[in-house]
Amino acid sequence: MNQDRTEGSLCALSPLDGRYAAVAGALRAYFSEYALMKERVLIEVRYLLALGELPAFPLSLSTEEAAGLNLIGERFSLTDAEFIRRIEQEGEGGIGPTGHDVKAVEYYLRERLTELGLARLSPWIHIGLTSEDVDNLAYNRLILSAVHTVILPAITDIEQRLLLLAEEHKRLPMLGHTHGQPASPTTLGKEFAVYLHRLTDGVAHLGAIRLNGKLAGATGNLSAHRFAFPEVDWLGFAARFVSQLGLEPAIISTQVLSGDRLARLFFALIRINNVLLDLVVDMWLYISKGYLLTRPRRGAIGSSTMPHKTNPIDFENSEGNLTKANADLVFLSTALTRSRLQRDLSGSTIRRTIGTTFAHSLIGYRRALAGLNRVTVEEETISTDLHRHFEVLSEPLQTLLRRAGTADAYERVKEHLRAGALDKADFSELIAKTGDYAKDDPIARLCPADYIGFAVELAERVIAAARSENHRDKWVRPHNPSEGANR
């Protein structure tokens, strides 16, 4: 790492651009100011090209001119972004300062058209549009691209790891715990399969969500469009334009597109994050019981004073980041679904924080995966603990008595069941007190490791279903906004 990058990391206001920059950096192509500027330029150029296809607009674009316009968006560079920022904040070449970020993009495009010998097109840039027409399309395309290109693959990596763990340990009996107390046995692999199934279902839901978009003018009525060019089917034009951008056309809006679809996406992320929060907390608890161990990283220190410790920091870090992400996602879901009258500006600044929220989710996913990759299963500890608790077999004992017609089976077993853990001898004594069973009777020979019901079969069902799913092939990946970034 060079000195500039080191200083930038150490002096960063947010850990997302400092300590966690290596992970969060994958989202810069979608949520940086540069990415937003580039997407705005692309939308404006696409709009201009779409107008050129209408007979009412005398743009008369040749094939070469259309190709040149497309290159403005495709080859948009950091130098171009800096030029737009100067127009907005300082003024550039007699233009501005505009104090308006979208208007600065319009003025930038006028300059580029002049350079290309297309100054005659300048009056048509942004005609009839409000800045929110550009921004809602830009943001939603970027968000959808980030979900499909970065977020979903990161979650799928966890799915694949859970699948392997479920397969490897599906037959390993383990003491169950309900309310934190010893309960009917299960298998470790089946418990991994529970999370695999929940995550697979959540991924399918998130991957299927479509965001919408609007091209509707200052208050959502396409008034300027209709007044100036009444002969054009503007409702059909707007729907086609939004669809061609990979979004679903909104039927109706004010100046702003409602954030309801975004809220649906955010709540889908909250659902997934809650599954993973459940997972990482359970991993922490299994580690605390000694069922799992965390392999130490080479040279890593677990405690500044206790040399023996290897702390489950990956799971703890994941828990913290996912908790932070969910709090922000709830806030976004509430704030972006509200706007005063036909529009207020509060949502504009809030939208700029979507990237940081996604970044906390992404860090949570990566650390959860790192934790899962570092755990080892302590089969001997799991087995020893399981066979210390024969009292969990009081469930099949009272069920067997019920089958035999004993009305107070539960009460009879509970009456003779002393507090605390029972070993095999204790359980044999309990059997003798509650019924007349031969030594070769199944209940007399039953051990906790044998009392796992359909745990193996259930795990195998989930494993088979997960293997039949290939989410990566099903996702329709939107454009990659990072292409052409280094013109």
- Is residue 221 in a domain? no
Q: Is residue 487 part of a domain?
A: no
- pLDDT recorded at residue 254: 93
For the beta carbon of residue 465, count every other beta carbon within 10 angstroms.
Answer: 14
- The answer on 161 and 115 residing in a single domain is no
CATH number of the domain within which 284 lies: 1.20.200.10
Give the amino acid at 451: Y
- Residues composing the chain: 487
Among candidate residues 101, 127, 153, the one where a domain is terminated: 127
Q: Which domain-ending residue is among 127, 159, 175?
A: 127
CA dihedral defined by 434, 187, 277, 177, rounded to 10 degrees?
Answer: 20
| Domain range enclosing 296 | 132-211+253-384+462-474
Report how far residue 387's alpha carbon sits from residue 317's, in angstroms, rounded to the nearest whole number. Answer: 33
| β-pair type (212-213, 248-249) | parallel
Same domain, 123 and 136: no
Q: Chunked in runs of 10, what are the mean pLDDT values of the chain (487 residues)? A: 60 87 94 97 97 93 94 95 95 88 96 95 96 97 98 97 98 97 97 98 96 96 97 98 97 95 97 98 97 80 60 93 97 94 89 96 98 97 97 94 90 89 93 81 93 98 89 53 44
CATH number for the domain harbouring residue 417: 1.10.40
CB under 8 Å to 256, separation ≥6 — which residues?
A: 132, 136, 339, 342, 343, 347
Please answer whether residues 345 and 131 qualify as being in contact, where contact means their C-beta atoms are separated by less than 8 angstroms.
no
Burial label, 291 (beta-carbon count in 10 A; 0-12, 13-18, 19+)? buried
Is residue 178 included in any domain, yes or no?
yes
Structure confidence by residue, pLDDT tens digits, 435-461: 877 677 899 999 999 999 999 999 999
Q: What is the pLDDT of residue 312?
A: 85
In a domain, 481, yes or no: no
Q: Judge whether 113 lies within some domain.
A: yes
Residues 190 and 205 in one domain: yes
Half-sphere exposure at residue 242, Cβ-oriented, CA atoms within 13 angstroms:
26
User: How far apart (Å, rounded) are the C-alpha atoms in residues 438 and 81?
Assistant: 84
Q: What CATH number is attached to the domain comprising 98?
A: 1.10.275.10
Q: Is 303 a catalytic residue?
A: yes
Residue 404, token pair as written in the block: 């035999």
Q: Is 11 a domain residue?
A: no
Q: Per-residue pLDDT tens for 34-66?
A: 999 999 999 999 999 999 999 999 899 999 999
Q: Considering Cα of 199, then 200, then 205, then 209, what sign does the dihedral take?
A: positive
| 183 and 112 together in one domain | no
Q: 405 and 291 in one domain?
A: no
Position 100 in a domain: yes
Note whether 55 and 36 are same-domain residues. yes
294 and 192 within one domain:
yes
Pair (302, 426) in one structural domain = no
- The DSSP secondary structure of 212-225, one letter per residue, reads EE----TTSS-HHH
Residue 8's Cβ-count burial label (10 Å; 0-12, 13-18, 19+) is: middle
Output the six-digit token pair for 457: 């079969």
| Same domain, residue pair 182 and 263 | yes
Q: Is 453 left (phi over 0), alpha (psi -120 to 50) or beta?
A: left
With beta carbons less than 8 A apart as the criterion, state whether 481 and 215 touch.
no
Least Cα distance to 247 among 75, 39, 51 occurs for 39
pTM beyond cutoff 0.75: yes
List for the chain the helix, strand, coil content (%; round to 5). 65, 5, 30
Of 14, 243, 288, 303, the active-site residue reads 303
Q: Are residues 428 and 336 in the same domain?
A: no
Give residue 388's pLDDT. 96
- Compute the distance between CA of residue 50 and CA of residue 175 in angstroms, rounded to an integer: 64
| From 60, 179, 308, 468, active-site residue | 179
Same domain? 82 vs 149: no
Instruction: Please name the residue that has the structure tokens 């810069």.
Output: 28
232: in domain: no
Tokens of 195: 């999370």
Is residue 364 within 8 Å of 276, Cβ to Cβ?
yes
Reply yes or no on whether 179 is catalytic: yes
Locate the DSSP E strands across 158-271: 173-178, 181-187, 212-213, 248-249
Token digits of residue 417? 């069941």
User: Which of 63, 96, 127 represents a domain boundary (last residue)?
Assistant: 127
Q: Are 96 and 40 members of one domain?
A: yes
Dmax of the chain from CA atoms?
A: 100
Write down the pLDDT at residue 1.
44
For the chain, what is the domain count? 3
Rounded Cα–Cα distance for residues 198 and 10 (Å): 38
